[in-house]
Amino acid sequence: MKMMLLAAIILVAWIGTAFCGETPAPQKTIGINPAYRNLSVKPGDDFDEYANGGWRKTAEIPADRSSIGAGFEVFERAEKRTADLVRETAASTPQPDTPQGMIATYYAAFMDTANIEKRGLNPLKEKLREIDAITTKADLARVLGQRLRADVDPLNATAMWTENLFGVWVTQALSEPERTVPYLLQGGLGMPDREYYVSDKPEMATLRTTYQKYIADLLRLAGMSDAVERAERITALEKKMAAVHADIVTSENVHKANNPATIADLKSKAPGLDWDAYLSAAGLDKQPLFIIWQPDAIKGLSALVGSESLDTWKEWLAFHTISRYAAFLPQAYDDLRFSFYNKTLQGTPKQLDRWKRAIANVNADLGDAVGKIYVAKYFPPSSKAEVQEMVNNLRAAFEHRIDALNWMAPATKEQAKAKLKTLRVGVGYPDKWRDYAGLVIRRDDAWGNAWRASEWEYHHQLAKLGRPVDRDEWWMTPQTVNALNLPLQNGLNFPAAILDAPFFDSKADAAANYGSMGATIGHEISHSFDNSGAEFNAQGKLANWWTSEDAAHFKAASQQLVEQFNQYEPLPGLHVNGQQTLGENIADVAGLSAAYDAYKLALHGKELPVVDGLTGDQRFFLSFAQGWRQKIRDAALRSQIVTNEHAPSRERAQTVRNIDAWYEAYAVKPLEKLYLKPEERVHIW
C-alpha cells in the first residue's frame, strides 16, 4: 500500500511442522514446512531458494491461474468457504429484498448462462443507444460524466483499467483532514499502464498489436462494421491518452498529488472538456473543491476530448462499454476478453470455472453482505483477541525501536510515537456494515446487476461528501486475503480471511506466527513511516514532521534500499524498479525487524526448543520466506514488474539480508551471495 491503499497481499507460511511449549513435545502444528526447503542451496546464497526450492520443483500452476503459492492456497480456502456460504444462503430461499436475497439472486443470475446467451447484447442496447445519440462535445461530456465511477486506490495502476475518462476517489483532503472531498484521477486506458503504450520494447509492441486485434474482434462480434478501422482509431486515441498519463513513480509522490481546484479552476486550467455538462451528469456540479491527483494527465485528457474526433470517442466508449462487462455477456464475449486480459497479459491458459467467477463478482458487488455471514462462521472472537495481542506486541516493538534510533531527533521521535499511539487497527471486520438499500438485483439480468452495483457504489462514495470523516471506515471486505494501511485515517485493516492458517494459527508457536502474521502486521504498521506514510501526521494530515537532518538520513537509507532492489533481475533484461517499489520494500524491512522484536517480547525471555534441527530464530525467518513461496508465469511476472508497486515474491523473501539476527541464525558468511556488510544493511526503523 502506498497512499490509499491496497497493500501487498502478504503471502506468509503454509502448512508444515512445528512445535510449541517449553519442552519439545512432538505435537504437529501449522507453521513452517522443512520439506519445502532445497538443502543443496546455502541460506546465505539464496534464502528464497533454500526456503522454497524443494516445493517449487514439483509445484504446478493451475491452468486457470497465473501463479500458485502460499497466498493462493489461503485465498483458495476463503474462496471455497465463500462459495459454500453463498450456496447455503441461496438454498435457504431468503426474501429477495434482504442482503441474503441479493446474494442469492446475484449469484443465480450470473450462473444462468442459458438466459445470458438468450439475451445477447440486449442488456447493453440502452447504453449503446446513448452513445450513438451523441452529436456534440457537450453530449460527449454528459455521457462521460454519467459513467464516472469510484476508484479506491489512486496509486494502484491496474485500478485504472476503465471505460471512464477519469476516476473519482472520495476521502478526506490531504491538507484538511476534517474535510471530505472528491479526488479526480487519470483513467481511460484499456491496458494496465502507460508503459504498455509508450515502451519501445518488442514485447510491448506485440501486446499493442494483440490489444488492437482484441478490440477489432470484440466490435466485430457485436455486429459493428469496419471493426479493424475502428480498432486502429481506438488504440491511436489510447496511445495519446497514455502519453499524457503520469507514470507510477510520479503518481506515488503525494506532494505532486495535492492540487486543490475549484470548478472554475478546472475550466481554466483543463480546457477541452465541457466541465459543466460533465460534472452535472456526474453529480459533482455543487462541489466547492476537488483535488487533482495527476494534474498534467487531467489537463491532457481534457484537451483530447476537445481535439479528437467525436466519432472516435464514440467508438472508444462503445468498445469499453462492451469490454468492461464482457463477463456478464454471452460466452463468446467473455472468451475474447479472457484471451487478452488473462491468457495474453497474465499467461493463464484456462478460464476460471463459472462458479469461481460468480463468487468473485458477488464479493466485488455485495462484499459486506457476504462478509457479515463469513465472519459469523469463520472468525471467532478468540482469533480476534489473539491477533489484537500480536498487534499490541508489534506496537511495543515499534515504540522501542523508535526510542533506540540514534539518528532521530527527540522532536521527530515524539511525532512518530504520537502517530503510533493513535493508530487505528481494524481486526477481522468493520464495526459498521454497509446497507445495500436501493440496490436493485434481478434474477434475469446479470449484466444489469453489475452495472447497477457500480452505480450504487459510486453514489455510496458521493454520499460521504459534506459529512464528517469516518476514520474507522474499512476499504476491504472480511473475506479478502490482503491487508492495508490507510495513511489519511492513520489506520490499518486486517481482514478475517488473512487471519487464518497459515498466516495465523493459534496452534502454531511464536516463531511461525510472528514470522508470518507478525511480519504482516509489522509491514502494515511500518507503512505509516515509509516514504509515503511518513508524510502524514497522527491526524492523517499531509504535514512534514521531520527535522531536515532526520529527513536527509531517511532519504539516504531509502536510496540504499532503492539501489539494492535495482540489482534484482527477475526476468532477463527486466530489473525491479527500486524507486517504484520503495514503499513496500521499506515496509518489508521495517516490518520484519519489528516482528522479530515482538517475537522476542512474546517469549518473555525464554527460547523455543530446537525442532527438526531448526532453532526458533531459524523457524522465524523460514516462516517469513515461506510466506513468499510462489511460482508465477512469466507474463504475469512481467506485468507485475512493470505496473505494480510491489517487488516480486522471490525478491521480497531476500529482505532477510538486511536483518542482523538472520546472519546469526543461519551463520551467514562473507562471500555468500546475499551477504551485506553491517554498514550496507538497510536499517531505517
Distance CA 484, CA 97 (A): 32
Q: Are 33 and 54 in contact (CB under 8 A)?
A: no
In this prediction, residue 500 carries a pLDDT of 85
Q: What percent of the chain has pLDDT over 70?
A: 94
Q: Per-residue pLDDT tens for 81-94?
A: 999 999 999 899 89
Kindly report the average pLDDT of the chain as a whole number: 91
- Residue 631 CA to its chain's centroid (Å): 19
- Cα separation, 21 vs 3, in Å, equals 41
pLDDT at 21: 29
Higher pLDDT, 37 or 484: 37
Lowest mean pLDDT among 19-33, 422-436, 567-581: 19-33
Centre a 10 Å sphere on the Cβ of residue 324 and count the other Cβ atoms it contains. Answer: 20
| Residue 292, strand partner residues | 184
**pLDDT beyond 70 at 157:** no
Bridge partners for 182 per DSSP = 170
Mean pLDDT of 170-196: 94
Q: Where does 134-249 show beta strands of DSSP type E?
A: 149-150, 166-172, 180-186
Q: What is the mean predicted confidence (pLDDT) over 673-679?
A: 97
At 325, list the grid cell.
462487462
Whether residue 462 has pLDDT greater than 90: yes
Return the pLDDT at 158. 40
Q: What is the CA radius of gyration of the chain?
A: 25
Across the strands, what pairs with 324?
A: none
pLDDT at residue number 300 = 98
Compare 455 and 533 and report the one with higher pLDDT: 455
- Residue 624 near residue 598, CB atoms below 8 Å: no
Give per-residue pLDDT as tens, 622-639: 999 999 999 999 999 999
One-letter amino acid identity for 184?
A: L
- pLDDT mean over 526-543: 85
pLDDT in tens, 204-262: 999 999 999 999 999 999 999 999 999 999 999 999 999 999 999 899 888 899 999 99
Whether the pLDDT of residue 1 is over 70: the answer is no
Query: In the structure, what pLDDT confidence band is assigned to residue 152 with cuts at 50, 70 and 90?
Result: low
Q: In angstroms, rounded to a whole number, what is the distance separating the alpha carbons of residues 150 and 462?
A: 9
Q: What average pLDDT does the segment 333-354 reach?
A: 96
Q: Which of 551, 555, 542 is nearest to 293 (CA)?
A: 542
CATH no. for 121-328? 1.10.1380.10
Residue 584 confidence (pLDDT) above 60: yes
How would residue 15 be classed by pLDDT, with cut points 50, 70 and 90?
very low
| Confidence band of 666 (pLDDT split at 50, 70, 90) | very high
The predicted-structure confidence for 586-629, as pLDDT tens digits, reads as follows 999 999 999 999 999 999 999 999 998 999 999 999 999 999 99
CA atoms within 13 A on the CB side of 131: 20
Confidence class for position 153, pLDDT limits 50, 70, 90: low
Q: What residue ranges do the domains of the chain occupy? A: 37-61+382-434+473-680, 121-328
Q: What is the pTM of this model?
A: 0.87
Q: Is the pLDDT assigned to residue 155 strictly greater than 50?
A: no
DSSP 518: I
Whether 641 and 193 have beta carbons less than 8 Å apart is answered as no
Second CATH level (architecture) for the domain 37-61+382-434+473-680: 3-Layer(aba) Sandwich (3.40)
pLDDT band at 163 (very low <50, low <70, confident <90, very high): low
What pLDDT shows up at residue 162? 60
Across residues 270-274, what is the average pLDDT? 98
SS3 for 283?
coil
Nearest of 520, 450, 494, 471 to residue 110 by alpha carbon: 450
Q: Is 90 exceeded by the pLDDT of residue 79?
A: yes
How far is CA 484 from its chain centroid?
A: 8
